[in-house]
A and B are shown apart, each in its own frame.
Chain A
Amino acid sequence: GNSVTQMEGPVTLSEEAFLTINCTYTATGYPSLFWYVQYPGEGLQLLLKATKADDKGSNKGFEATYRKETTSFHLEKGSVQVSDSAVYFCALSNNQGGKLIFGQGTELSVKP
């Protein structure tokens, strides 16, 4: 079946540190991959996505590359800010009406 595994949190970083949140997936076929973010007190919102192998999604300084050979979609940012503190969810959609399958989420806390 389809599944997503993320690194466990919480992840605590100092401002301007480099961020990596690991995400691997299991799926049949060629899924689309997403990162959603949930800021404190807000709803889930799309951060970035990639729809085919070797695509790179990017937004707000965050990047993730769709690696089919390693079934991964790791999220990276070169210099985090306090405002990036949130819970990050990796997800896939596998041509089943667009339903999303989420990982368990990784909480990021950035300290000034």
Chain B
Amino acid sequence: GAGVSQTPSNKVTEKGKYVELRCDPISGHTALYWYRQSLGQGPEFLIYFQGTGAADDSGLPNDRFFAVRPEGSVSTLKIQRTERGDSAVYLCASSPQDTTSTDTQYFGPGTRLTVL
């Protein structure tokens, strides 16, 4: 079946602009995660949804970052007033459920964001 998809695959923007990054999880997966991966580093957790609600947003770096999942499927990560330090690959992952920490997360290919 289809895996996790993310659009766009690449996004170049100018400092101060607003961007939206989209994630389509695997159908039926209730848990959805956003991570950010800087060059040469491991992914860092940003936010986790269980259904429509953000169950844990402790990884969002500041209030310029916001994410939604209004119907419990597709999610959008929104970044306001982008800064050069926001440049990274943004990864989305989904898993069938969140009731255990043992579930496998399935990752999308990522969106590479470049802020000029």
Residues of chain A at the chain B interface (Cβ within 8 Å):
4, 31-32, 36, 42-46, 49, 51, 89, 91, 93-105
The answer to whether A100 and B41 have CB atoms under 8 Å apart is: no
Chain A CB within 8 A of B55 CB: yes
CB distance from B24 to the nearest CB of A (A): 13
Main SS of chain B's interface residues?
A: loop
Q: List 24 A-B contacts (CB under 8 A).
A: A31-B101, A36-B107, A43-B107, A43-B108, A44-B93, A44-B107, A49-B104, A91-B42, A95-B101, A96-B101, A97-B48, A97-B50, A97-B56, A98-B48, A98-B100, A98-B103, A98-B105, A99-B45, A99-B59, A100-B35, A101-B45, A102-B44, A104-B41, A105-B42
The answer to whether A97 and B98 have CB atoms under 8 Å apart is: yes
The answer to whether B43 and A102 have CB atoms under 8 Å apart is: yes
CB distance from B106 to the nearest CB of A (A): 8
Chain A CB count within 10 A is highest, among B33, B44, B100, B105, for B105
